[in-house]
Structure 1
Amino acid sequence: MTKQLTRREFIKRNALTGLASGLPLSLIANHASQPAILGGQPAWNKGSWPIWPQWNPETDEKELLSVIRSGIWSRATAVTEFEKRWANAVGTQRCLALVNGTNALVTALAQFNIQAGDEVIVPPYTFIATVTAVLSNGALPVFVDVDPETFQIDPAKIEAKITPRTKAIIPVHILGLPADMAPIMAIAKKHNLIVIEDACQAHLAEYQNKKVGSIGDAGCFSFQNSKNLAVGEGGAIVSNNNAFMDRCYSYTNFGNPYGTPVGSVSTGSTMQGTKLRWTEYQAAIGLAQLQRLDAQTTLRNENAAYLKSKIKDIPGIRPYRLYDHVTKAAFHLFPFRYDTQQFKGLSRADFLEALRAEDIPCSSGYTTLNTQPFLAETFKSKIYQNSYSRELLASHKEHNHCPQNDQLCKEAVWFTQNMLLASRNDMERIASAIEKIYQNAEKIKTRSKK
């Protein structure tokens, strides 16, 4: 691969070329510091960011080929081995692998007997699956606003939303940044509530030196293609509650008793269930990815801290804040808030366009979840009409207003986790690109209006 030059090296090399050709040094330096959207040199080449997911044929394919050649593709020894290793990595007694993180949440809620007539507390800044899992069980999601500095549910606002119908809290370690679990667990204990951690984006993140997912009554993970442990599609439930985990296993295997072999038709089901089993080749891929997850997590944390140090003093850029008890984050995403006024009124959309012109991939993140029309549409169904009062359903949107989240959704900017697997020089390139945009915000805004 061609070596990428730092900004200083670029200016120096092109300055020499410019002198030889009679071009003024100041003109060349100006071109290098000019944003790409205004005709300058891009900060980076987007094709050179680390690819994701990563696959090393030499180290990763032996187990996978062995599974494929065995002809045993449904759940067997490879799945069991992955479950043992993931439980060990997270620090729980048990793990159950299943088709995806969404159904991990659906299953966990169901096996804690969360159903129609119940309420579940959730944050509004999360992927839609957190809420659809609640709805799939006929329960009512109750939204608690966020702390915009941390992007997480605000524990100080939870108790005000608890009613006699409240049965569970789902703290979401969104973006791979841990929620503030100590006060959440204290509230849950006080009100006798189940805590199901949505750790789908938070592989190996830690709070008070405990892996997230191991702190509540259960934890749910996703192994979807973009996740820090990527399998394509997949998920897992972890817990120390053996009776609960037995029920989860039965539920995902047609309601057959725990330990019933795959494919058995003579045992007889003991509960209503469905089929959510994992495959052997998914487990083989997961085992390969798991070997490097710890080192990748360390690198992401190091680069995230370095990048934060480089951009935190740029006016209008407000990076994430970790809670004091967070001992490690996962950084599935690197988030910060963008203040358009500090950038001469340059809109977030135009800021993102200018960043992308620098070959820096970026996103505006989530839109407001608690106001989306699928909620009102779901509430029209018989199960909701029969389980909740019309007044409660009609006022749900009004009573679930989350102004901090509304603002956060207007300000957030994300970088993906694979970018944090690059070098420190690459983190400097990101910071340099943002600085260039800041210094030229007025010109970029003028250009956007043309």
Structure 2
Amino acid sequence: MEETNDLNRRKFFGKLGAGTLAMMAANTIPAYSIHSSLDKGKLAVLGGEPIRKNKAWPAWPQVTEKMLNAMADTTRSAKWSRISLKDGNVDTFEKAYAQLIGTKYCVGTGSGTQALATCVEALGIEPGDEVITSPYTDMGTVSAIITSRALPVLADLHADSYQIDPEDVERKITPHTKAIIPVYLGGLACDMDRIMAIAKKHNLKVIEDACQGHLAGYKGKKLGTIGDLGCFSFQASKGIACGEGGAVVGNDFDLMEQCFTVQNHGTARNGKHVTIGPKYRMNEFEGAILMAQLDGVRERFELRNANADYLNAKLKDFPGLVPQRRYEGTENGGLYIYALAYHKEHFNNADRSKFLKAIQAEGIGFTGYIPNGLHREPWVDHLTGLRSYKKMYSTARLKTFKEQMVLPQCDIASSRMVSLWASGPLLGSRQDMDNIIDAIMKVYDHRDKLSEI
């Protein structure tokens, strides 16, 4: 067997890069405790003792007295809708979040999907238009495009970053393309310099799906502030959470007022009914939870990033699990998930499902995340069979649309992703992070047993 397929723990750390070793020597990252996983016994999935036994991960979301008091105060006020009062919880949160992200304006919505749909409508995108986005995302991204009866065109990924490939974006542009929606999977930046250059060249709008990217930075800017509009989610699992909830941010006053009007069922702030729009308003309870949660948001963000950096350094040069690629200029991440690529050739060609069963039994909650790209879901056939879409788009265009649902890099990415939900677990201690590494190395050292699972 080749050296790369026969790494033991000591050899693995002997292969660490000079930069990582220098960080360890400087105590930036504590030196890893090298020991044989044979001391741990056999794999837990095969009857051995798990690395983590009866040990909980940090809870998320975290409930505080401040939240409970804010909810109680809101309940007692009997002012539960944002239109019932001025400068209430939602108004206050919008101002605070805009300041946190670094934009002039923010409009709260009922979800991240609603934020995206608001932007598509506010930009005047309509039937017959096309919007290019990622196939590896929550269905909400595509749903936001369909809501305005535009055509959601999917571009392939860079398989090592899980982010949209700018070159394939440019190949998919037609005379009907109006916008690009880059998706920051895992809360890390896409190749935004290239995407913005393409948008400028073809006179396209950019709506950033930063639903997972709270506070993340790219070349001196926060995600959500690079394009024309940025969208965020505050769904219960996100790093800033209120159950559901979302926000649109931007610096263009007129455009942001249009976003407000669209999400307010087409009614402007002056009460005039001026355009098409659903009711996507954030309510006062959501605003109360969010305002109460902003205390400590930066500290939690920094801790998640410090723990992700620690894991990345520990796994540097380990070929079996490769951390999500970061583009040049990426400063940090929103870290909704901590993502890695599983390379089975370094685990005795064991299927990813066997690796996941083994490491889950060790007490580490790795999963495969989104099972496949949206190009492999039934909505594609449903959409192209709708009478409305057949009226709005030619038979030839819909045929090409379906033919372009061959996205091999997305298939590779989805088939090998291993992810750890990060909102809670990456708030853990260094011992918790070492447990993750211990479990990975234990499974690796016993990779010849994975076929028995």
1:289 Cα offset (Å):
1.4
| Residue pair 1:31, 1:41 contacting (<8 A) in 2 also | no
8 A contact 1:231–1:282 mirrored in 2? yes
d(CA) in 1 for partners of 2:188, 2:292: 24
Kindly indicate whether residue 44 of structure 2 is the aligned counterpart of residue 36 of structure 1. yes
CA deviations 1:294-327 (Å, max 9, x no partner) are: 1111001100011112223333211112111111
TM-score of the aligned structures, taking structure 2 as reference length:
0.88
* Residues 132 and 41 of structure 1: CA distance in aligned 2, closer, same or farther (over 3 Å): same
CA distance in 2, matches of 1:440, 1:131: 41
Q: Does 1:322 align with 2:322?
A: no
Q: Partner of 2:12 in structure 1?
A: none
CA distance in 1, matches of 2:204, 2:269: 26
2:366 maps to 1:368: no
Shift of 1:29: 7.9
State the distance in 2 between where 1:99 and 1:259 align: 21
Partners of 1:60 and 1:112 lie apart in 2 by: 35
Counterpart check, 1:65 vs 2:72 = yes
The match for 1:439 is: 445
> Which residue of the partner structure matches residue 382 of structure 1?
387
Aligned residue for 2:154? 143
Query: 1:173, CA displacement in angstroms?
Result: 0.8
| Cα offset, 1:374, TM superposition | 0.9
SS at structure 2 position matched to 1:379: helix
- Find the aligned partners of 1:384 and 1:49 in 2 and give their Cα distance: 47
> CA offsets per residue over residues 95-117 of structure 1, 9 Å max, x none?
01011011111110011011111
Which residue matches 2:96? 85
Letter paired with 1:343: F
Task: State the Cα deviation string for residues 280-299 of structure 1 (Å, max 9, x = none).
Answer: 11101001112221111100
Pick one of 170, 183, 190 that aligns with 1:159. 170
Q: Distance in 1 between matches of 2:137 and 2:338?
A: 15
Q: What SS does the aligned partner of 1:158 have?
A: helix
Residues in 2 aligned to 1:29 and 1:225: alpha-carbon distance in whole angstroms: 37
- Aligned partner letter, 2:445: Q
Partner amino acid, structure 1, of 2:124 = N
- Asked if 2 retains the 8 angstrom alpha-carbon contact of 1:304 and 1:334, the reply is yes
Is contact 2:132-2:153 (8 Å) kept? yes
Mapped to 2, the partners of 1:379 and 1:136 lie a distance apart of: 15
Equivalent residue in structure 1 for 2:293, among 278, 289, 292: 289
CA contact (8 A) 1:255 1:273 kept: yes
Q: Distance in 2 between matches of 1:79 and 1:315?
A: 47
The CA deviation at 1:33 is: 4.1
Q: Which runs of 5+ in 2 are unaligned?
A: 1-35
Q: Which residue of 1 aligns with 2:3?
A: none
Match of 1:253 in 2: 264
- The structure with the largest alpha-carbon Rg is 1
The residue aligned with 1:12 is none
Partner in structure 2 of residue 121 of structure 1: 132
Contact 1:46 1:360 in 2 (8 A): no
Structure 1: unaligned runs, 5 residues or longer: 1-27, 261-267
Report the CA distance between 1:395 and its aligned residue. 3.0
Tell whether the 8 Å contact from 2:337 to 2:420 is kept in structure 1 after alignment.
yes
Task: Give 1:393 deviation, angstroms.
Answer: 1.1
Distance 1:431 1:40 in 2: 18
**Partners in 2 of 1:313 and 1:45 — Cα distance?**
29
> Does residue 217 of structure 2 align to residue 203 of structure 1?
no
Query: Which residue in 2 is equivalent to 1:212?
Result: 223
By how many angstroms is 1:47 displaced? 4.8
Partner of 2:433 in structure 1?
427
Moved more, 294-303 or 141-150: 141-150
3-state DSSP class of the match of 2:294? Answer: helix
Q: CA RMSD in A?
A: 1.6
| Identity level (%) | 41
